[in-house]
């Protein structure tokens, strides 16, 4: 997750430099992998320019000679090779002395006989995006974003720092910039800007009702707890404004057009993915959420055709799938320059199903990364409110009154009791109840006092993360600073020791070592036909446990016997002309069925969680001898 610091500071600004921000976030549980910079490290020498005149170069067909106003008394002559340069454009200009992102210091240069007093920059040259076929046009048609000569850093986030976060699976809220801003607010106490979804709803000026132009039928409510849709008319699809393009590029997203960019922007802000359909390419405006048919095929937005199975959920129209639910949309209803009506989807999907479908298809996206961690249904409506306002403002669209909202079962807010003395006991440090409540409230929790306890309401974005009192205590501890907790020893006697099985196993291993037999450790991965190649009875088990994403064909399955790896070790030694080999291995094998040596243990498949373990993991001891045995045996 890439978080531009300038965006983060709009939400919460404690006045810290990027390195300090990274340190404090890391110390409270939000790991920051690195801090990087966007574009030139310094904005000095980069200004806003206005192209006054463009004429052909007298000695080069592909070059143009431009007169550009940059704030001085006279315009600058700049030679430009971009095909899209034109009079009336507002552009980014690097003056002589400016240092480009690659470290090159720009100077005056003579190009085919004409002196160029600066450079009109492209996105790629400033490392603000991937566009390198033409210059970066800030405005055109005489529109003026800033006066010529104004520092470019006032318009674009040149030198802006970006925090690259490694977000843990339980913290889906930190996959949205507002979630990181809330963390910063809780840590520093600096003011937090009101969430964008709390603004008043944008006025619906479209004709009729959304139910008259679209309908939604959810056939698998257990896999789609909520599906919301809003419709827009008179949409003008085109390039996004520069602030939005820059923000997306800084966050690692490629700008496409204003409609798609808005969906990506809202996802980055709120952690709730959205998808926009060209409503005129959805027959009858009918949207059906269903399981895919076995072998059904569809082409996604990345121009790859996928074969689906019945475990995959699709968003379809009457004729065909138009998107793989929660993963990626399809080309059938893609928003294009000719789109005038848009249907905006914000849905909630079953996280486990999305994870499995994404793995089977080998297709991951920013959306699937969020959905697979399970989002709360309420986040869908939040995202709709933000996106609706932006589409109306940036696309000159009209919102059709109403929202289609198919909700399977409302999810009640989670309420937990927190005992302040229990917090003190677990942390080994006294923290006043008021301070505990304050830390939780800064994180977005609702807190009320109730008979010596704190009654805490978990915010929607943390619903599946904070489920127990001890989770609340963890929140209190980390916001206060884990490094501030005292070092204490557990109270009471420490019990320990080996079980009878462990003692017997160690005695057997020691006895083998005492006979001069070397212990080896081999891979738990094996070929799927390993038993057959060893001449073992392959029918004794219903096949090995197969790995869904093996590193190689040699490691496609989990071993059902220790012998395969030991034979490989013996073969290697024999090839080195070692005549006598005595080795043993003590380790687990992985079986689909059978009896475990310790019933009720993890080796018997008794793991915590909703889903059973895929295999039994009994312990085995194997010995392999090659050559003549020692005389004293």
Alpha carbons 166 and 29: distance in angstroms, whole number: 10
Q: For 115-127, what is the mean pLDDT?
A: 91
pLDDT at 250: 85
- Measuring CA to CA, how many Å separate 298 from each of 13, 130, 199, 503, 516? 45, 28, 38, 58, 61
Domain 46-154 has CATH 2.40.50.140: yes
pLDDT at 43: 84
The DSSP string of 183-227 is HHHHHH----PPPGGGSPPPP--SSS-GGGT-EEEES-TTT-SEE
Q: For 213-238, what is the mean pLDDT?
A: 96
CATH of domain 2-38+160-190: 3.30.56.10
Residue 65 in this model has a pLDDT that exceeds 80: yes
The string of pLDDT tens digits covering residues 69-95 is 999 889 999 999 999 999 999 999 999
pLDDT at 229: 97
Query: What kind of fold does domain 415-483 have according to CATH?
Result: Phenylalanyl-tRNA Synthetase; Chain B, domain 1 (3.30.56)
Residues sharing a CB contact under 8 Å with residue 418, sequence separation 6 or more, in sequence order: 436, 440, 453, 454, 455, 456, 469, 472, 473
Angle CA(239)–CA(245)–CA(247) in degrees, nearest 5? 160
Alpha carbons 386 and 200: distance in angstroms, whole number: 10
Question: Which of left, alpha, beta for 314 (phi over 0: left; psi -120 to 50: alpha)?
Answer: beta
Residue 531 in this model has a pLDDT that exceeds 80: yes
Residue 267 in this model has a pLDDT that exceeds 90: yes
Residues sharing a CB contact under 8 Å with residue 631, sequence separation 6 or more, in sequence order: none
Q: How many helices (H) and strands (E) does the chain have?
A: 14, 31
- Measuring CA to CA, how many Å separate 360 from each of 169, 297, 307, 440? 20, 14, 10, 39
Q: Looking at the chain, which residues constitute the CATH 3.30.930.10 domain(s)?
A: 500-626
Alpha carbons 327 and 369: distance in angstroms, whole number: 8
The string of pLDDT tens digits covering residues 167-190 is 999 999 999 999 999 999 999 999
Residue 133 — very low, low, confident or very high, per pLDDT cuts 50/70/90? confident
Q: For 429-443, what is the mean pLDDT?
A: 95
Residue bearing the bigger pLDDT, 559 or 536? 559
Alpha carbons 357 and 365: distance in angstroms, whole number: 12
Alpha carbons 413 and 349: distance in angstroms, whole number: 18
Phi, psi of 330 (to 5 degrees): -110, 165
Residue 510 in this model has a pLDDT that exceeds 70: yes
Residue 600 in this model has a pLDDT that exceeds 70: no
Residue 160 in this model has a pLDDT that exceeds 90: no
- Measuring CA to CA, how many Å separate 485 from each of 7, 424, 430, 479? 32, 11, 10, 11
Residues sharing a CB contact under 8 Å with residue 383, sequence separation 6 or more, in sequence order: 197, 266, 267, 270, 272, 273, 274, 346
Q: For 322-342, what is the mean pLDDT?
A: 94
How many C-beta neighbours within 10 Å does residue 407 have? 17
Q: What is the mean pLDDT of the chain?
A: 90
The string of pLDDT tens digits covering residues 367-390 is 999 999 999 999 999 999 999 999
Q: CATH assignment of 500-626, given 3.10.180.10, 3.30.930.10, 3.40.190.170, 1.10.15.40?
A: 3.30.930.10
The answer to whether the CB of 402 falls within 8 A of the CB of 210 is yes
Residue 626 — very low, low, confident or very high, per pLDDT cuts 50/70/90? very high
The answer to whether the CB of 364 falls within 8 A of the CB of 324 is no
Domain 210-407 has CATH 3.40.50.970: no
Residue 552 — very low, low, confident or very high, per pLDDT cuts 50/70/90? confident
pLDDT at 298: 93
Nearest to 168 by CA among 464, 387, 386, 416: 464
User: Maximum CA pair distance of the chain?
Assistant: 103
Residue bearing the bigger pLDDT, 561 or 595? 561
pLDDT at 40: 87
Buried-exposed string 604-615: b where 16+ CB fall within 10 A, e elsewhere: bbeeeeeeeeeb
Alpha carbons 343 and 213: distance in angstroms, whole number: 9
Question: Which of left, alpha, beta for 594 (phi over 0: left; psi -120 to 50: alpha)?
Answer: left
Nearest to 28 by CA among 218, 220, 171, 178: 171
The CA-based dihedral angle spanning residues 321, 326, 328, 333, taken in that order and rounded to the nearest 10 degrees: 40
């Amino acid at each position: 997750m890439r978080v531009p610091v300038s965006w983060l500071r709009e939400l919460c600004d404690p006045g810290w430099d990027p390195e300090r921000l990274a340190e404090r976030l890391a110390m409270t549980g939000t790991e920051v992998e690195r801090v990087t910079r966007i574009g030139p490290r310094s904005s000095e020498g980069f200004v806003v320019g206005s192209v006054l005149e463009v004429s052909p170069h007298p000695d080069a067909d592909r070059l143009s000679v431009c007169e550009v106003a940059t704030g001085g008394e006279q315009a600058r002559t700049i030679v430009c090779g971009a095909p899209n340069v034109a009079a009336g454009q507002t552009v980014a200009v690097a003056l002589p002395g400016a240092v480009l992102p690659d470290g090159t210091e720009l100077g005056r240069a003579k190009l085919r006989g004409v002196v160029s007093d600066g450079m009109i920059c492209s996105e790629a040259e400033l490392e603000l995006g991937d566009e390198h076929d033409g210059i970066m046009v800030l405005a055109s048609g005489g529109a003026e974003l800033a006066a010529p000569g104004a520092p470019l850093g006032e318009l674009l986030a040149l030198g802006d720092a970006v925090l690259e976060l490694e977000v843990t699976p339980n913290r889906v809220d930190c996959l949205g910039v507002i979630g990181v801003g809330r963390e910063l607010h809780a840590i520093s106490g600096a003011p937090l800007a009101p969430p964008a979804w709390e603004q008043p709803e944008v006025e619906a000026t479209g004709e009729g009702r959304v139910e008259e132009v679209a309908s939604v039928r959810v056939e698998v409510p257990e896999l789609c707890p909520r599906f919301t849709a809003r419709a827009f008319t008179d949409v003008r699809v085109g390039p996004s404004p520069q602030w939005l393009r820059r923000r997306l590029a800084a966050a690692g997203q490629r700008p496409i057009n204003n409609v798609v960019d808005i969906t990506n922007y809202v996802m980055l802000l709120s952690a709730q993915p959205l998808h926009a359909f060209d409503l005129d390419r959805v027959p009858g405006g009918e949207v059906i959420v269903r399981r895919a048919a076995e072998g059904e095929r569809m082409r996604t937005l990345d121009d790859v055709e996928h074969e689906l199975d019945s475990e995959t959920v699709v968003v379809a129209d009457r004729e065909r799938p138009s998107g793989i639910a929660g993963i990626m949309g399809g080309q059938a209803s893609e928003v294009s320059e000719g789109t005038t009506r848009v249907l905006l989807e914000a849905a909630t999907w079953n996280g486990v199903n999305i994870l499995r479908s994404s793995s089977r298809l080998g297709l991951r996206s920013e959306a699937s990364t969020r959905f697979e961690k399970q989002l709360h249904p309420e986040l869908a409506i939040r995202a709709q409110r933000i996106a609706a306002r932006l589409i109306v403002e940036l696309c000159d669209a009209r919102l059709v009154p109403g929202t289609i909202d198919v909700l399977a079962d409302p999810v009640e807010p989670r309420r937990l009791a927190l005992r302040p003395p229990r917090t003190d006991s677990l942390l080994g440090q006294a923290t006043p109840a008021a301070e505990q409540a304050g830390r939780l409230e800064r994180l977005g929790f609702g807190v009320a006092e109730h008979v010596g306890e704190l009654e805490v309401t978990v915010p929607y974005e943390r619903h599946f993360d904070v489920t127990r009192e001890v989770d609340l205590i963890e929140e209190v501890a980390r916001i206060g600073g884990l490094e501030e907790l005292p070092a204490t020893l557990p109270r009471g006697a420490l019990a320990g020791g080996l079980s009878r099985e462990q003692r017997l196993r160690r005695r057997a291993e020691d006895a083998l070592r005492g006979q001069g037999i070397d212990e080896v450790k081999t891979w738990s991965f094996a070929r799927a036909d390993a038993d057959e190649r060893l001449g073992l009875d392959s029918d004794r088990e219903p096949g090995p446990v197969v790995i869904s994403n093996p590193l190689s064909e040699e490691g496609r399955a989990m071993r059902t016997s220790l012998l395969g790896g030991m034979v490989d070790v013996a073969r290697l030694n024999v090839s080195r002309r070692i005549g006598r080999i005595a080795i043993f291995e003590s380790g687990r094998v992985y079986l689909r069925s059978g009896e475990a040596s310790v019933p009720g243990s993890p080796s018997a498949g008794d793991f915590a969680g909703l889903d059973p373990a895929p295999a039994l993991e009994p312990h085995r001891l194997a010995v392999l001898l090659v050559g003549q045995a020692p005389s004293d045996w």
